[in-house]
Structure 1
Amino acid sequence: MELSGTILAGPDYEPIEGRVVVEDGEITAIEEVETASSDIICPAFVNAHTHIGDSIAKEAGRGLSLDELVAPPDGLKHRLLDDASREELVAAMARSLQFMQAAGTGACIEFREGGVEGIEALQAATAGLDIESVALGRDTTDVLDIADGYGASGARDGDFSAERTATGRAGLLFGIHAGERDAHDINPALDLEPDFLVHMVHAEPLHLERVADRGTPVVVCPRSNLVTDVGVPPVADLLERTTVALGTDNVLLNSPSMFREMAVTAKLCDVTAPEVLRMATAAGAEIAGLNCGVIEPGRRARLLVLDGDSDNLAGVRDPVRAVVRRAGVNDVKNVVLQ
């Protein structure tokens, strides 16, 4: 397989006119040649934080606080999940996963409620799709038998030392929410030495130092934080200290579109377009341990092709900036997930 156009190549997403050569699901070469194609080829997105279970109740809970919306065990999300049948849950998650794949997302890191049954429902929803779900279970360590790790709600909700120990022994991922409402749960979360943190809206200088000292990656979800009115994460400060990835959080609150997440992040935070694109691709892949997110030989062929001659993108002078700030689902020409 060969894809031609403007390639956003390598870890710096340098625009190169040429073609990407794919063999047996792997990128084998990037060839700089003249081409008549106006396509823009970039890595498929890695959505580094999702809760797609609440796809059963999009835009529910208007006017509720963050705790009223999602805090376990009695937040609106949890009540709705308890009331939904397995069939409803699987069908709703499958619809969200189909949308994500069509919109250029090749993988997501999913915090999946419901214990073992929740992971099994996610597996059923993913069946037949090419999008890869890195499933982090919760509620019981039994999920570690079939999940890719554990996704903790937050240190204020309980002691997750046992879960952290279990994931460490199994060589699996441990992620935890921290600093979403306030700063009080950040140090306890960092004390667990997680593989990554989610949100960190209220990170203070001490927390930033601790993140830098250990190199703990952080996933930020700016649109979700705006909807729940908790503030804006200090993305630029975090980027100076560690790997920062981008997630869309609850489908209850926002569409799982990485295009929208990138545009908001680029326009709201003091970060460059290449930094945001890396947050949406390579950074999430790094956290999840996936060999994608960068277009270079030896990487898996998980690619997004945009129509550079669409009414929206025609005339673009800076393709990286265009992908981050302007492009959308309607500009997607092809999604290659091998």
Structure 2
Amino acid sequence: MTGGESGTTTGGRTATDGGQRLVEGTILRGREFEPVEGRVVVEDGVIASVEEEPVESDDIVLPAFVNAHTHIGDSIAKEAGGGLSLEELVAPPNGLKHRLLRQASTEEKIAAMHRSLEFMAEAGTAAHIEFREGDVEGVKEIRAAGENVPVESVVLGRGSTDAMHAADGYGASGTNDADFERERAATAREGKLFGIHAGEVDSSDIDGAMDLDPDFLVHMVHPEPWHLDRLADAATPVAVCPRSNLVTDVGLPPVSELLERTSVALGTDNVFLNSPSMFREMEFAAKLFDVSATEVLRMATVAGADIAALNCGLVEPGRDAELVVLDGDSHNLTGAKDVVRAVVRRAGVDDIRAVVR
């Protein structure tokens, strides 16, 4: 409920007060997500201030999520290919995913991706980093799918360097498929983002991937000790996708060891294998790995934002006002003694009262 003349916001709804938007509740502030009672003041889409003071609201205010690794083109075939190996599922050019994509019409792919993006928006995701199959046409398809959906798609083209020119960068499959030196050099010349899969099935492609000096690596399930040393020396971020790794039976990334060396972000990977819900990914990571709830929330928000050079992912002045407001008095969250832990391990889409953009 909106509080009278002051324009103060409670109940997850935003209001205006002299051109400002105000959101009240328990705010998970800054990079440490310190819970403070108060309000977020938003001006022209940017967080102007976080005011700490008593408020009458049970809401929980946190930064919207940044999904650090997705393939949403395969939204056309959710839960296809049960029981297949990773190579049978996704290896180019004839893995099941690629065959299904070739068979689908442009209209079918755009419609399916649009639905996944709408779900992501409703589930509190502000942005995602997409490895987009289909070369230039694939980039055009996801741009069309994202029209009128309030999720920022950071698109990394795949295939020719033309796809990179049409996109925000290049997303390579792995150095066991090709050396990608030409694509890396072209991406660097344009100052765009270059990411590459590495260490998903085994360690054989990690050194080759790191030799390319990528902006980030994806998966890193099987690093050897010297790979961890290289990560620390280069400070190369890693996007991990533990639910996907479990489904494809390749093992699980050593998240604690990775976090000791570099920044680690969370991604949901292929939509045909997993729902693109960051709540589900956070809960899985928090309960499976020996990492704190604060670290997992950082992996789901600002770590991905840092990779893509986005100005969201934190509730602090100067950041874009991309916020998720949870009902702290929902049946699921009421009585929580540790707010950050409850958000990471327990909260879900049904607890969202509002997404502020």
Deviation readout 1:35-85 (Å, 9 max, x if unpaired): 110000000000000000000000000110000000000000000000000
Q: Alpha-carbon deviation of 1:143?
A: 1.4
Instruction: State the TM-score, normalized to the length of structure 2.
Output: 0.94
Distance (whole Å) between structure 2 residues aligned to residue 336 and residue 141 of structure 1: 36
Which of 211, 234, 239 is 2:259 aligned to? 239
Question: What's 1:171 paired with?
Answer: 191
Q: Alpha-carbon deviation of 1:125?
A: 0.4
Which of 302, 306, 323 is 2:326 aligned to? 306
SS in 2 for 1:89: helix
SS in 1 for 2:261: coil
Aligned CA RMSD, in angstroms, stands at: 0.5
Instruction: State the TM-score, normalized to the length of structure 1.
Output: 0.99
Distance (whole Å) between structure 1 residues aligned to residue 338 and residue 112 of structure 2: 37
1:193-232 superposed matches below 5 A: 193-232=213-252
Q: Alpha-carbon deviation of 1:301?
A: 0.4
Letter in 2 for 1:141: T
Question: What's 2:200 paired with?
Answer: 180
Question: What's 1:121 paired with?
Answer: 141
Q: Alpha-carbon deviation of 1:172?
A: 0.2
Asked if 1:16 is matched to 2:16, the reply is: no
Which of 101, 106, 116 is 2:126 aligned to? 106
The count of aligned residue pairs is 337
Question: What's 2:273 paired with?
Answer: 253
Letter in 1 for 2:198: A
Question: What's 1:41 paired with?
Answer: 61
Distance (whole Å) between structure 2 residues aligned to residue 336 and residue 48 of structure 1: 20
Letter in 2 for 1:184: S
Distance (whole Å) between structure 2 residues aligned to residue 317 and residue 279 of structure 1: 22
Deviation readout 1:241-297 (Å, 9 max, x if unpaired): 101000000001000000000000001111000000000000000000001101100
Letter in 2 for 1:323: V
Gaps of 5+ in 2: 1-20
Distance (whole Å) between structure 2 residues aligned to residue 120 and residue 274 of structure 1: 37
Distance (whole Å) between structure 1 residues aligned to residue 56 and residue 315 of structure 2: 20
1:252-291 superposed matches below 5 A: 252-291=272-311
Q: Alpha-carbon deviation of 1:144?
A: 2.3
Which of 33, 40, 50 is 1:30 aligned to? 50
Distance (whole Å) between structure 1 residues aligned to residue 183 and residue 159 of structure 2: 10
Which of 276, 288, 292 is 2:312 aligned to? 292
Deviation readout 1:80-108 (Å, 9 max, x if unpaired): 00000000000000000000010000000
Asked if 1:90 is matched to 2:110, the reply is: yes
Do the aligned partners of 2:179 and 2:208 also contact (CA within 8 Å) in 1?
no
Deviation readout 1:181-205 (Å, 9 max, x if unpaired): 0000000000111000000000111
SS in 2 for 1:294: coil
Task: Single out whichever of 143-152 and 83-92 deviates more from structure 2.
Answer: 143-152
Question: What's 2:6 paired with?
Answer: none
1:118-157 superposed matches below 5 A: 118-157=138-177
Do the aligned partners of 2:59 and 2:326 also contact (CA within 8 Å) in 1?
yes
Distance (whole Å) between structure 1 residues aligned to residue 197 and residue 297 of structure 2: 23
Distance (whole Å) between structure 1 residues aligned to residue 51 and residue 32 of structure 2: 17
What is the identity percentage for the equivalent residue pairs of Structure 1 and Structure 2? 69
Q: Indicate the structure (1 or 2) with the bigger Cα radius of gyration.
A: 2
Q: Alpha-carbon deviation of 1:145?
A: 2.3
Q: Alpha-carbon deviation of 1:330?
A: 0.3
Question: What's 1:50 paired with?
Answer: 70
SS in 2 for 1:156: coil
Distance (whole Å) between structure 2 residues aligned to residue 158 and residue 149 of structure 1: 17
Deviation readout 1:131-152 (Å, 9 max, x if unpaired): 1000000100001222000000
Distance (whole Å) between structure 2 residues aligned to residue 92 and residue 210 of structure 1: 39
Which of 162, 176, 181 is 1:161 aligned to? 181
Letter in 2 for 1:24: D
Q: Alpha-carbon deviation of 1:336?
A: 1.2
Distance (whole Å) between structure 2 residues aligned to residue 238 and residue 109 of structure 1: 20
Distance (whole Å) between structure 1 residues aligned to residue 164 and residue 243 of structure 2: 30
Question: What's 1:71 paired with?
Answer: 91
Letter in 1 for 2:260: E
Question: What's 2:11 paired with?
Answer: none
Asked if 1:318 is matched to 2:338, the reply is: yes
Question: What's 2:5 paired with?
Answer: none
Do the aligned partners of 2:39 and 2:51 also contact (CA within 8 Å) in 1?
yes
Task: Single out whichever of 144-153 and 194-203 deviates more from structure 2.
Answer: 144-153
SS in 2 for 1:224: helix
